[in-house]
């Protein structure tokens, strides 16, 4: 009897070990930074550009991990083990937003470090991301709030919440990441337009 149990355990172990392990897929956020016109490119080199410091992105703690997040119901999430960000999400978001804003608002010079520009910084931009994930019913979600401040004041010039949602055209993590990147592009466009509008006042 004991021998039969041992044989059964051996077969179970062999069966489990023979199952292929899914290959881990890694994703990055690559912005479209191609300038839309030569005038934008020339404008971005203007010495009179106002420097805006993009502060480190504030990210909800449950998002700050390697695995891509899915919201399974109102109060429950699922963390993907085999579909992961290729770098820390805070860093990826910061680079994406910085590069995109630089393209969309060439009359401003966006910087990510005040070490060399502390005396030249005109404004500071702070972005908090509370949602950046998919849902099991096939949506991509991005929400949070952003705030623009004068460099010499803690009082906000603009403080706006944001919330974006997109329906996935197909299932799978590649499509989810693609839609999340598009939502980020919408956020950057809205921020750029708001900064432009405020600069004209």
Q: Is residue 126 part of a domain?
A: yes
Read off the CATH number of the domain in which 101 is found.
Answer: 3.40.50.10610
Question: What's the whole-number average pLDDT of the chain?
Answer: 83
Nearest by Cα to 88 from 56, 65, 54, 113: 65
Name the one residue in this structure whose structure tokens are 């179970």: 12
Q: State mean pLDDT over 118-138.
A: 90
Q: Is residue 79 part of a domain?
A: yes
Q: Is residue 149 part of a domain?
A: yes
Domain with 181, as residue range(s), is 49-199
Q: Is residue 5 part of a domain?
A: no
User: What pLDDT, on a 0 to 100 scale, did the predictor assign at position 147?
Assistant: 95
More confident residue, 86 or 6: 86
User: What pLDDT, on a 0 to 100 scale, did the predictor assign at position 116?
Assistant: 56
Among 43-47, 76-80, 83-87, 149-153, whose mean pLDDT is lowest? 43-47
What total of structural domains would you count in the chain?
A: 1
Q: Is residue 103 part of a domain?
A: yes
Does residue 119 surpass a pLDDT of 70? Answer: no
pTM of the model: 0.81
Q: Which residues contact 162 (CB under 8 A, 6 or more apart)?
A: 142, 143, 144, 145, 146, 187, 190
Q: Is residue 191 part of a domain?
A: yes
pLDDT digits (tens, 9 = 90+) for 9-64: 444 444 554 567 889 999 999 987 664 433 344 444 444 578 888 999 999 999 99
Q: Is residue 32 part of a domain?
A: no
More confident residue, 87 or 14: 87
**Chain centroid to CA 105:** 19
User: What pLDDT, on a 0 to 100 scale, did the predictor assign at position 81?
Assistant: 94
Nearest by Cα to 59 from 148, 159, 131: 131
Does residue 132 surpass a pLDDT of 80? Answer: yes
Q: Is residue 27 part of a domain?
A: no
Percent share of the chain, pLDDT over 70: 78
Task: Determine the Cα–Cα distance for residues 196 and 167; give it in Å rounded to an integer.
Answer: 30
Q: State mean pLDDT over 80-84.
A: 96
User: What pLDDT, on a 0 to 100 scale, did the predictor assign at position 9?
Assistant: 41
Among 44-58, 63-77, 178-192, whose mean pLDDT is lowest? 44-58
User: What pLDDT, on a 0 to 100 scale, did the predictor assign at position 12?
Assistant: 45
């Amino acid at each position: 009897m004991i021998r039969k149990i041992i044989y059964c355990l051996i077969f179970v172990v062999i069966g489990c070990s023979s199952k292929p392990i899914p290959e881990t897929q890694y994703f990055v956020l690559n912005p479209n930074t191609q300038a839309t016109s030569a005038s934008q490119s020339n404008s971005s080199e203007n010495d009179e550009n106002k420097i805006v410091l993009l502060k480190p992105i504030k990210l909800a703690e449950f998002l700050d991990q390697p695995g891509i997040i899915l919201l399974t119901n109102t109060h429950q999430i699922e963390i993907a083990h085999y579909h992961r960000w290729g770098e820390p999400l805070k860093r990826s978001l910061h680079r994406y937003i910085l590069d995109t804003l630089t393209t969309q608002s060439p009359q401003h010079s966006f910087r990510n470090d005040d070490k060399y520009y502390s005396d030249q910084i005109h404004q500071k931009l702070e972005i908090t991301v509370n949602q950046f994930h998919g849902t099991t019913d096939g949506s991509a979600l991005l929400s949070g709030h952003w705030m623009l401040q004068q460099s010499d004041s803690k009082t906000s010039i603009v403080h706006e919440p944001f919330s974006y949602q997109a329906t996935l055209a197909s299932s799978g993590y590649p499509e989810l990441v693609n839609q999340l990147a598009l939502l980020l592009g919408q956020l950057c466009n809205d921020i750029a337009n708001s900064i432009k509008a405020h600069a004209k006042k």
